[in-house]
Amino acid sequence: MNEKKIMNQTIEKMLVHASVRDFKAEPLPAQTKDLLLKAAQSGASSNFIQAYSIIEVADVNLRREIAKISGSDAYVNQTGVFYVFVADWYRQAQILRAENKDVKALRNMEALTVAIVDTTIAAQNMTVAAESMGLGICYIGGIRNDTSKVAELLNLPELTLPLFGLTIGLPNSRNEVKPRLPKANILSVNGYNHESLTDLSTYNEQTAEYYANRSHHQKSTNWSQEMSDFLTNPRREDLTDFLKKQGFTLD
Ligand SMILES: Cc1cc2nc3c(=O)[nH]c(=O)nc-3n(C[C@H](O)[C@H](O)[C@H](O)COP(=O)(O)O)c2cc1C
């Protein structure tokens, strides 16, 4: 079937996603935020655990502190709304403790993984909803530059992890869409095709052209080079200690 025939507005919006890092300083109306939260909550959830909480950082000073930690100050401070997505087993801990049960099922690597997945699905649902309204978004993983401090600022209890922020607002300007990996690099049938999934020659040509010609921050590089530079050293190695402090055993 012709792709045009099955294309729809939802997918059209998804295909032009680009993170926005320049917003109008206009708070989002309450109804818009409520609808975004409903969209977030409508995502699938592993065993219906709904293991996340969303914290709206409305206080200007609090937002400034978190923005500073994130290194993305401009678009965390000046935006429509700023949420922190928290992977959260604390609710279930309360349920279990009320019944004098052990909470060990909430502490291991599997528990942490499903909470992170649930949280991410909720955030991406919110993202798609926001972009469908013509709003722009940027995930802010930079809050994990100092996860302990963010947890302290937000008063987070045990068995929680502030995973990332999400800044949403009316775009002042938009970036170009970044070319994604070719289908041959991400799809393999009936098993992992080592050659096709890792042959990055075409993508490196495409991304070299993109980086050289985009309207901002032009540079001479390609995707493999970017990855190599980015991954020279491990990042945020304090996260393990933070998670243990929060009660995750990671076993
Ligand atoms: C979990 C996550 C964390 C991110 N953290 C940041 C961040 O702290 N600051 C930032 O400017 N962009 C951040 N981004 C945006 C990515 O840099 C961006 O999605 C990526 O470069 C692809 O570009 P695009 O979203 O414009 O297509 C994050 C994205 C994700 C998914």
Tens-digit pLDDT profile for residues 23-60: 999 999 999 999 999 999 999 999 999 999 999 999 99
Confidence bin at 4 (pLDDT 50/70/90): confident
| Ligand 1 site, CB within 6 A | 17-19, 21, 70, 72, 138-142, 164, 175, 178
Question: In this structure, what are the phi and psi dihedrals at residue 171, rounded to the nearest 5 degrees?
Answer: -70, 135
| Cα-to-centroid distance, 26 and ligand 1 (Å) | 22
Give nearest CA residue, ligand 1 atom 9: 140
Atom 11, ligand 1: residue with shortest CA distance: 72
pLDDT for position 233: 97
pLDDT digits (tens, 9 = 90+) for 195-221: 999 999 999 999 999 999 999 999 999
Residue 148 has a pLDDT of: 98
- Give the pLDDT confidence score for residue 214 in this predicted structure: 95
pLDDT of 120 reads: 99
Residue 140 CA to ligand 1 center (angstroms) comes to 7
Transcribe 119-173 into DSSP letters. Answer: HHHHHHHHHHHHHHTT-EEEEEGGGGGGHHHHHHHTT--TTEEEEEEEEEE-BSS
What is the rounded distance in angstroms from the CA atom of residue 51 to the CA atom of residue 31?
A: 24
Which atom of ligand 1 is closest in space to residue 120's alpha carbon?
A: 1
Rounded Cα gap, residues 251 and 248, in angstroms: 8
48 three-state secondary structure: helix
Neighbours of 7 (CB within 10 A): 11
Instruction: Return the ligand 1 atom nearest residue 175 CA.
Output: 26
Q: How far is the CA of 227 from the centre of ligand 1 (A)?
A: 14
Q: Positive or negative, the Cα torsion across 57, 63, 69, 71? A: positive
| Among protein residues, the one whose CA lies closest to atom 21 of ligand 1 | 19
Backbone angles phi, psi at 236, to 5 degrees: 45, 55
The identity of residue 12, as a single letter, is: E
- Between the CA of 124 and the centroid of ligand 1 the distance, in Å, is 12
For domain 8-176, give the CATH number: 3.40.109.10
- Could you tell me the pLDDT band of residue 3, with boundaries at 50, 70 and 90? confident
Q: How far is the CA of 171 from the centre of ligand 1 (A)?
A: 16
Please choose, from the candidates 17, 205, 171, 16, the residue with its C-alpha nearest in 3D space to the C-alpha of residue 79.
Answer: 171
Burial of 26 (0-12, 13-18, 19+ CB in 10 A): exposed
Q: Residue 166 and residue 56: Cα distance in Å, rounded?
A: 10
pLDDT band at 2; cut points 50, 70, 90: confident
Domain segments of the chain as ranges: 8-176, 178-246
pLDDT tens digits along 107-143: 999 999 999 999 999 999 999 999 999 999 999 999 9
pLDDT per residue over 73-112, tens digit each? 999 999 999 999 999 999 999 999 999 999 999 999 999 9
Residue nearest to atom 7 of ligand 1 (CA): 140
